C-alpha cells in the first residue's frame, strides 16, 4: 500500500488552501468520493491514471488533468503532475454539466494556478483534506 | 487487532460522522469493483470485447462495470463476473475496523486474483511416489493419482489430495 504520489493543494497568495476551502463547502458524499478517488490514484503509476477516473485535457490545457467522479452530478478536480516528480497538485474543484464547469472560468483559473505553482514553491502544500 | 493509527487522523475524524462514513464505504466498494473488474481483465490480457463475449453482455455493459460512477451491480452480476474470471466472490458484512484495515491497500497488485487453475486446482503429476508415513512403513509405491504439487504453496505438507487416500498422511517425492 505504498503511495506513489504525494497529493498537493494550491495555496493562494494570502496563504489560503483553495482546495481545502472548496472541499469544506462540499457535502459528505462529495468529500468521500474525492477522498477515495485520491486514495486509489495515489497508489497507481502514471499509466493507470486513465478514464473514467482521470483524464488529461487537450490543446493549451494538455498539462492539466481532471479527477472525475459523480455523486449527485459530475465533479472535476483539476490538477497537474508536478511541480516535482511524484507529485500531483490539485488546482481547483468544480462541478460540470455538459461542457460547462461551475464555477465559470475554471479552466483559466486552473492554468493560471498551475503557472504559479511551477514558479513559486509557496503556492502549494501537501494536502491535508 | 487493527492499529487505528495506520489511518490518518483527518480520515478518522471524518469517519465519526455517519453520513461521511456511509458515503466513504459506498465509494470504496464501487471503486474496488470497478478497478478490480478492469485489473482482472488486464491480468488475463483480455480486451473489453472478449470480456463482453464471455459475459454474454454488450461491451457497453463492460464499460459500465469498469466505471465506479455506475455502482448499481447486483450480486447475480458479480457472481457472473466471478465465474468468467474463475475466481471466488466474497460479500459479507464486517465491522468498520476490518473494512478499514483491508481497504488501505488499493494498489494495482492488490486487485489481481489468480484463476482457479493457478490457485487451488489439483494438478496431475505422473508418476508419483507415495510413501506412507502414518503406517510407518518404508514402502514406496507407484501411483497415477492426481495430487497437489508440493511447490504450489497450497498443499498441506504430508497430506495427499486424493479421494482414494483421503486422511492418509504421506510424503510426495
Regarding predicted confidence, which is higher, B162 or B43?
A: B43
Q: Give the dihedral of Cα atoms B54, B57, B62, B67; nearest 10 deg.
A: -140
B35 interface with A at CB cutoff 8 Å: yes
pLDDT tens, residue order, chain A (129 aa): 689 999 999 999 999 999 999 999 999 999 999 999 999 999 999 999 999 999 999 999 999 999 999 999 999 999 999 999 999 999 999 999 999 999 999 999 999 999 999 999 899 999 999
Q: What pTM value is reported for the model?
A: 0.82
Check CB contact under 8 Å for A28 and B31: no
Distance (Å) from the alpha carbon of A81 to chain B's nearest alpha carbon: 19
The yes-or-no verdict on residue B163 having pLDDT over 80 is no
Check CB contact under 8 Å for B107 and A44: yes
Which of B17, B68, B99, B111 is the best residue to mutate to test the A interface, defined by the most A CB atoms within 10 Å of its own CB?
B68
- CA angle A87/A91/A94 to nearest 5° reads 130
pLDDT at B70: 87
Give kind and range of the element (H or E) at residue B126.
none
The CB density around residue B84, as the number of other CB atoms within 10 Å, is 20
pLDDT at B160: 45
| Closest chain A residue by Cα to residue B23 | A29
Strands A6-10 and A87-97: parallel
Give kind and range of the element (H or E) at residue B51.
helix B48-55
B13 interface with A at CB cutoff 8 Å: no
The yes-or-no verdict on residue B3 having pLDDT over 80 is no
ipTM: 0.95
Residues of B within 8 A of A46 (CB-CB) are none
For B87, counting Cβ atoms within 10 Å of its Cβ (0-12 exposed, 13-18 middle, 19+ buried), the class is middle
pLDDT at B126: 58
The yes-or-no verdict on residue B135 having pLDDT over 50 is no
Residues of B within 8 A of A35 (CB-CB) are 11, 14, 24, 27
Retrieve residue A126's grid coordinates: 501537501
pLDDT in tens, B35-87: 999 999 999 999 999 999 999 999 999 999 999 888 889 999 999 999 999 99
pLDDT at B110: 95
pLDDT in tens, B123-133: 666 555 555 44
Q: Give the dihedral of Cα atoms B132, B137, B142, B146; nearest 10 deg.
A: 0
Amino acid at each position: 500500500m505504498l503511495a506513489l504520489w504525494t497529493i498537493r493543494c494550491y495555496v493562494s497568495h494570502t496563504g489560503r488552501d483553495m482546495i481545502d476551502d472548496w472541499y469544506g463547502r462540499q457535502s459528505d458524499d462529495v468529500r468521500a468520493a474525492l477522498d477515495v478517488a485520491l486514495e486509489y490514484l495515489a497508489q497507481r503509476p502514471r499509466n493507470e491514471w486513465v478514464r473514467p477516473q482521470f483524464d488529461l485535457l487537450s490543446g493549451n490545457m494538455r498539462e492539466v488533468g481532471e479527477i472525475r467522479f459523480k455523486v449527485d452530478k459530475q465533479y472535476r478536480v483539476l490538477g497537474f503532475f508536478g511541480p516535482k516528480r511524484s507529485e500531483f497538485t490539485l488546482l481547483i474543484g468544480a462541478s460540470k454539466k455538459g461542457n460547462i464547469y461551475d464555477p465559470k472560468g475554471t479552466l483559466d483559473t486552473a492554468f493560471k494556478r498551475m503557472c504559479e505553482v511551477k514558479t513559486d514553491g509557496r503556492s502549494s502544500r501537501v494536502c491535508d483534506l | 487487532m487493527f492499529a487505528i493509527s495506520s489511518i490518518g487522523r483527518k480520515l478518522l475524524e471524518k469517519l465519526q460522522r455517519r453520513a461521511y462514513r456511509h458515503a466513504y464505504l459506498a465509494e470504496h466498494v464501487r471503486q474496488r469493483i470497478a478497478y478490480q473488474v478492469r485489473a482482472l481483465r488486464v491480468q488475463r490480457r483480455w480486451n473489453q470485447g472478449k470480456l463482453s463475449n464471455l459475459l454474454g453482455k454488450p461491451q457497453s455493459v463492460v464499460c459500465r462495470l469498469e466505471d465506479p460512477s455506475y455502482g448499481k451491480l447486483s450480486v447475480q452480476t458479480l457472481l457472473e463476473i466471478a465465474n468468467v474470471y474463475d475466481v471466488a466472490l466474497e460479500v459479507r458484512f464486517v465491522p468498520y475496523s476490518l473494512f478499514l484495515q483491508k481497504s488501505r491497500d488499493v494498489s494495482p497488485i492488490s486487485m489481481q486474483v489468480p484463476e482457479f487453475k493457478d490457485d487451488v486446482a489439483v494438478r496431475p503429476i505422473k508418476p508419483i511416489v507415495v510413501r506412507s508415513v502414518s503406517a510407518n512403513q518404508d514402502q514406496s509405491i507407484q501411483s497415477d493419482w492426481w495430487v497437489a504439487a508440493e511447490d504450489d504453496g497450497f498443499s498441506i505438507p504430508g497430506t495427499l489430495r486424493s479421494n482414494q487416500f483421503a486422511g492418509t498422511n504421506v510424503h510426495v517425492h
